[in-house]
Amino acid sequence: MWTALLLLPFATLAQNQLQGVVRDARTNEPLSGATVTLTQERKITVTDVAGAFQFTDVRSYEAEIRFVGYKTKRVTFSLSMNAILLEESTTLTDEIIVSATRAGEKTPTTYSTIDKQTLRKQNFGQDLPIQLNWMPSVVTTSDAGNGVGYTGINIRGSDATRINVTLNGIPYNDSESQGVFWVNIPDISSSTQSVQVQRGVGTSTNGPGAFGASINIQTNALADEPYAEYVHSFGSFNTWRNTLGFGTGLIGDRWAFDGRVSNISSDGFIDRATSDLSSYYFSGGYYSEKTMVKAIVFGGHEVTYQSWYGVPESRLNNDTEAMLVTASNEGWNEEQIQLLLNSNSRTFNIYTYDNQVDDYAQDHYQLHTSHRFTNSLTGNVALHYTYGRGFYEEYRINDRFSNYGLSPVTIGDSVINRSDIIRRRWLDNDFYGFTYSLQLEKNKLNAVLGGAWNRYDGRHFGEIIWSQVTTVPKDYRYYYNDATKLDFTVYLKGNYQFTSALNGFLDVQYRNIGYQTAGNDNRQNVFDVDVQYSFFNPKVGLTYDLGSGQSLYASYAVANREPVRKDFVDNPQNQTPKHETLGNLEAGFRKQSDRIMLNVNVYWMNYKNQLVLTGALNDVGAAIRTNVDNSYRAGIEVDGMVRLSPKFTLNANATFSQNKIQEFTEVLYDSGPNWEFDPPEAVSRTYTNTDIAFSPNLIAGSIVSYSPVAAAEISLLSKYVGRQFMDNTSNSSRQLDAYLTNDVRLSYAFTPKFMKELRLNLLLNNVFDVAYESNGYTWGYLGGGDEYRENYYYPQAGRHFMLMLSARF
């Protein structure tokens, strides 16, 4: 019945069908995103990731094919499969900006690429990780439960601190935490040309080493013609998105400008998990046969109500007795206990203070220059600067004055050591530097010499802005800490065509990092760090062309990376954290034709001193990590696309893996019967051959798309994530259960005479209303011989919807 209702608006039967594929005339690679226009009928479509296109109910066969960086071609189609080869133009285009950091068909590593058209289908205002959810080995989560606000992404079980993210080749990971805060650049998808995800070490060159994957984002490239666009969407949980964008196309064969402003707001699925997100993107470029200069400015401001505390297991299970134990373990007062007992079991949020928010703004400035010195030699230089500033605000109930360097207050005969307070924790930072590359493409050799120099200056401080019983000095800061990080990188990499079938790849990289801090941390402890690291990271591999669009590849890479700020602050054993080393073996098979794409990859990631999650969080919701001597990730990834017919397309992927720690030592603290006076005793427990936290052994995804007519598409998007343990003990009482979700996406495009396209999209999320949790954490302690454990989870929304209308002129 559901299927019949969904298909009813699209019941038109196609008559004559045209289909084809657009490829690069020199390399024969498919060109995704090429515009194909039937000139007499004004029917327009774009090629998909395989370079394919189709028209239905066709009455004329004359067409124009346009793609930025290639010469426009006019053709007359036939009713059979059409193969169109486009020749490169002489104008230097935006792709040169990311060419040094991206993988290609001759790169012996594992990658997937999403183009602009695919992102547009799924961009209803949710953060970019949610839009990447169906890529191989990917698991995503949302604090608010509906994909707006703070979101996270894991790839091959590796969290965001070990996924190297670049924007136009510029590092985006926060220099100190190595985290990736997508909420700071909301709606970046609307200004993105393509996203390439490389799994494993990949071709990581700029930024921290990739210890699980790399996400390489290219923002808007030169548009082939002028445009203006307005996007409006709304949906469940009072979620709204408005985006206004424009592009001039090429003016006078030399200049082009693009711009966008966006606002996204949502109440969130979790109680009070509101988001108010604004962002912008502007660029201007000069293009000629030999030179390209492009300035890009983008950023955002987010105000999100804190929802990182999670929902306790006792509340999820509606267990009143267990909820009272949870409240006792947390030290909650009567008001908080009543909130716990009377809240919805899946949307509970402990915070109720009106301004319990995260308020942060971030602005990015990039200047890219590329010059073609000869037909075989091209140089690139990019300058960048990022300015970030903002705070957490938090209401603290009955907090100790001594935690903030405040003296007790005497009122009459009473000495008061505690009161309710409101505090803010600030981060004010600057990140700037440059990247460069010199690319040589001659005969059998394609080589790149490149590098980067980056500096980060961070100022961390905390303020008390209100106290219930004491007067706080104006502008009082209870902690202040400066941090400086210098990162210098140089690399040389290249491909050499040994024979017509065999291609070799070599990449050597040197990184030097210096990290210094001075001052005290938020717990009043002295926090002085002065460390230096020098890393040599080689990569080598081979690709063998089997013909008929088939190839084999194998590579081995070594990567090293430094600990992050929280590893120094929160190290459970109070020891200096060690740097990590990874040896990564990848081997696979690729097949690509007009109807089929198939990738099969086997990987082995062997870690020395890997920093793994303990399962606990610090007091601002960041995960705590510790070194383990030996661990590994091993698996097989299969992903592909099959065009079953001109109307049906199937995309599917699956990852089967094992993720193990040879020996893990858990430390619990026993406070004993005199816990108020005696220091807690550390109790160690050792586990062998245990699973790495948050590393499911099975991840699978699929997208089944049906196009009854060229202007319409119906898609079923499915995602399965296997069981995950929340710590490294493989204890089933501290796990996230496996889950399977299904979404339905409908799209219909009109082409009125006064505009290029009017498109209506509907997204039905979690159509079967599955109750599941995508993330969590756990902590425990011993008390007089008894063991106490608390598990917290991040429930995701049940059935909900988003409706989007986009108008493109």
The pair phi, psi for residue 321, each rounded to 5°, is -60, -45
Give the span between the Cα atoms of 716 and 206, in whole angstroms: 37
In our burial notation (b when 16+ CB lie closer than 10 A, e otherwise), range 110-131 reads bbbbbbbebbbbbbbbbbbbbb
Q: Which two structure tokens, joined as six digits, stand for 225?
A: 């013609």
pLDDT, average across residues 259-288: 96
Largest CA distance in the chain: 97
> Are 549 and 599 spatial neighbours (Cβ–Cβ below 8 Å)?
no
Provide the CA 86 distance to its chain's centre, in angstroms: 33
pLDDT reading at 533 higher than 60: yes
Give the span between the Cα atoms of 207 and 172, in whole angstroms: 8
Q: Which two structure tokens, joined as six digits, stand for 480?
A: 């202040």
Beta strand pairing call for 163-167 and 213-219: parallel
The pair phi, psi for residue 10, each rounded to 5°, is -115, 30
> Are 137 and 655 spatial neighbours (Cβ–Cβ below 8 Å)?
yes
Q: Crossing angle, helix 334-342 and helix 320-330, to 10 degrees? A: 150
Beta strand pairing call for 43-46 and 138-142: unpaired
Q: What is the pLDDT of residues 135-159, one digit of tens each?
A: 999 999 999 999 999 999 999 999 8
pLDDT at 3: 41
pLDDT, average across residues 72-88: 77
Give the span between the Cα atoms of 217 and 214, in whole angstroms: 10
Give the span between the Cα atoms of 384 and 507, in whole angstroms: 25
Nearest to 204 by CA among 304, 103, 282: 103
- Strand 170-171: give its sheet, edge to edge: 110-115, 192-199, 213-219, 163-167, 170-171
Beta-carbon contacts of 458 under 8 Å, excluding residues fewer than 6 positions away, are 175, 176, 427, 428, 429, 482, 483, 484, 485
pLDDT tier, 66 (very low <50, low <70, confident <90, very high otherwise): confident
pLDDT, average across residues 82-92: 76
CB atoms closer than 10 angstroms to residue 688: 9
CB atoms closer than 10 angstroms to residue 521: 18
Beta strands in 562-697 (DSSP E): 580-592, 596-617, 623-643, 648-670, 681-691
Instruction: Using alpha carbons, list the distances in angstroms from residue 132 to 155, 187, 428, 695.
Output: 11, 14, 30, 18
Give the span between the Cα atoms of 92 and 90, in whole angstroms: 6
The pair phi, psi for residue 119, each rounded to 5°, is -65, -40
pLDDT at 615: 56
Nearest to 774 by CA among 790, 792, 791, 793: 793
Phi/psi-derived region of residue 570, left when phi > 0, alpha when psi is between -120 and 50, beta in every other case:
alpha
Q: Which two structure tokens, joined as six digits, stand for 619?
A: 């007091």
Phi/psi-derived region of residue 318, left when phi > 0, alpha when psi is between -120 and 50, beta in every other case:
left
> Are 743 and 766 spatial neighbours (Cβ–Cβ below 8 Å)?
yes
Provide the CA 694 distance to its chain's centre, in angstroms: 16
pLDDT at 50: 75
Q: Which two structure tokens, joined as six digits, stand for 475?
A: 């502008």
Q: Which residues pair with 669 in a beta bridge?
A: 682
Give the span between the Cα atoms of 668 and 507, in whole angstroms: 44
pLDDT tier, 624 (very low <50, low <70, confident <90, very high otherwise): confident
Mean per-residue pLDDT over the chain, rounded: 89
pTM of the model: 0.89
pLDDT reading at 166 higher than 80: yes
Percent of the chain with pLDDT over 70: 93
Instruction: Using alpha carbons, list the distances in angstroms from residue 365 to 149, 249, 385, 479.
Output: 23, 22, 5, 30
Residues in the chain: 809
In our burial notation (b when 16+ CB lie closer than 10 A, e otherwise), range 436-475 reads bbbbeeeeeebebbbbbebebebebbbbbeebeeeebeee
pLDDT reading at 566 higher than 50: yes
Place of tokens 């960041």: 622
Q: What is the pLDDT of residues 754-775, one digit of tens each?
A: 888 899 999 999 999 999 999 9
